[in-house]
């Protein structure tokens, strides 16, 4: 196989960053309704956290295998963990896959999806603050923070229906810890990508983290008893979402400042609401003026940070 060369300047072009990041967010946004559809196909109850964790673990193991295949095609040879990166893969797996999703499922069982999506959007702020003030990977300017606030306003607006302000450590607190873990994983992925292939890092951290989640879900009593062609196809799609989106996201982070890429994360809940309304037939929520204003605010925030 011939290696596909990736040009640094090409990966930094505005059109490439916008298209690549938007594609990632569209894929991640589609995961919200598709996970719910997958639960139905696999006969997983909404309160069966152990089966949900087992399902997530299977998804991520498969995602890791697909990412390794994808990365091997790009490199023109089979990619394997490079010397000195085993510990980095384990650390990424714990942050990105294990800690994030364990806390996410725990929190989601004790709070609403509306508040979860808003709290999840805070990862953009956390990633920029951590990269700027702790790791000094970029300058945190007033313009960047203004863009984040404008984008966050769009996320809050599209989720205001049914919102309440009750908080609990096991609910909103767990979702916030999940968000912090994801933000730190983005920072470390950029840091490690300076010396290692980001697709390789993504693939093997998914495999390792997915195995831990699968084992945890099984030990907790999770079982997947209903197997169907449609369910397997949905599992494969969700694995592709993780493999393609996270690998592409890692490549964008490698060649661009974190703030320039992370701010697109505000599009995840917007796409999630729109696709949920379409795929889950949840009414005309995504077609109203509020959703349009939310989309404008999110895009304005992204433009301010990238200008």
| In a domain? residue 159 | no
pTM: 0.83
| In a domain? residue 293 | no
Checking if the pLDDT of 149 tops 60, the result is yes
The SS3 call for residue 122 is coil
| Cβ atoms of residues 179 and 266 within 8 Å | no
Give me the pLDDT at residue 234, please: 95
Give me the pLDDT at residue 265, please: 82
- For the chain, how long is the longest CA-to-CA vector? 56
CA dist 56 and 213 (Å) reads: 7
Tokens of 211: 């195995």
Any idea what the Cα angle at residue 263 is, between residues 257 and 202, rounded to 5°?
65
| In a domain? residue 241 | yes
Average of pLDDT values for 44-73? 91
pLDDT in tens, 239-282: 999 999 988 998 998 889 888 888 888 788 778 777 777 776 65
pLDDT in tens, 71-95: 898 888 899 998 889 999 999 999 9
| Cβ atoms of residues 226 and 33 within 8 Å | no
| In a domain? residue 227 | yes
Give me the pLDDT at residue 139, please: 80
Average of pLDDT values for 163-167? 58
Give me the pLDDT at residue 68, please: 94
Give me the pLDDT at residue 212, please: 96
| In a domain? residue 18 | yes
| In a domain? residue 267 | no
Beta-carbon-side half-sphere exposure of residue 2 (alpha carbons within 13 Å): 3
Domain that holds residue 62: 13-137+165-255
| In a domain? residue 58 | yes
| Cβ atoms of residues 268 and 24 within 8 Å | no
Give me the pLDDT at residue 286, please: 52
Burial-class residue 128 by CB neighbours within 10 Å (0-12, 13-18, 19+). buried
| In a domain? residue 173 | yes
pLDDT in tens, 185-210: 888 988 898 888 989 999 999 999 99
Any idea what the Cα angle at residue 292 is, between residues 257 and 242, rounded to 5°?
45
The SS3 call for residue 222 is coil
Give me the pLDDT at residue 98, please: 93
Average of pLDDT values for 45-55? 87
Query: What domain count does the chain have?
Result: 1
């Amino acid at each position: 196989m011939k290696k596909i060369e990736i040009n640094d300047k090409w990966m930094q072009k505005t059109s490439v960053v916008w298209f690549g990041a938007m594609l990632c967010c569209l894929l991640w946004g589609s995961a919200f309704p598709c996970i719910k559809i997958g639960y139905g196909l696999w006969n997983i109850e909404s309160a069966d956290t152990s089966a949900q964790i087992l399902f997530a673990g299977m998804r991520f193991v498969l995602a890791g295998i697909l990412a390794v295949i994808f990365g091997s095609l790009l490199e023109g040879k089979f990619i394997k963990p490079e010397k000195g990166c085993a510990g980095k893969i384990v650390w990424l797996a714990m942050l990105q896959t294990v800690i994030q999703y364990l806390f996410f499922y725990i929190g989601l069982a004790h709070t609403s999806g509306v508040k979860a999506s808003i709290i999840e959007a805070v990862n953009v702020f956390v990633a920029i603050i951590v990269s700027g003030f702790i790791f000094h990977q970029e300058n945190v300017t007033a313009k960047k923070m203004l863009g984040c606030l404008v984008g966050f306003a769009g996320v809050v607006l599209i989720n205001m229906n049914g919102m309440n302000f009750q908080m609990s450590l096991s609910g909103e607190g767990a979702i916030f810890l999940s968000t912090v873990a994801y933000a730190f994983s983005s920072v470390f992925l950029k840091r490690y990508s300076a010396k290692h292939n980001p697709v390789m890092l993504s693939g093997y951290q998914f495999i390792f983290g997915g195995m831990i989640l699968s084992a945890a879900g099984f030990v907790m009593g999770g079982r997947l008893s209903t197997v169907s062609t449609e369910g397997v196809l949905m599992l494969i799609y969700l694995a592709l979402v993780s493999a393609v989106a996270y690998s592409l996201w890692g490549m964008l982070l490698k060649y661009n400042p974190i703030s320039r890429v992370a701010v697109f994360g505000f599009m995840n809940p917007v796409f999630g609401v729109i696709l949920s309304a379409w795929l889950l037939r949840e009414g005309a929520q995504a077609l109203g003026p509020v959703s349009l204003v939310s989309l404008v605010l999110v895009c304005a925030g992204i433009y301010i940070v990238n200008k």
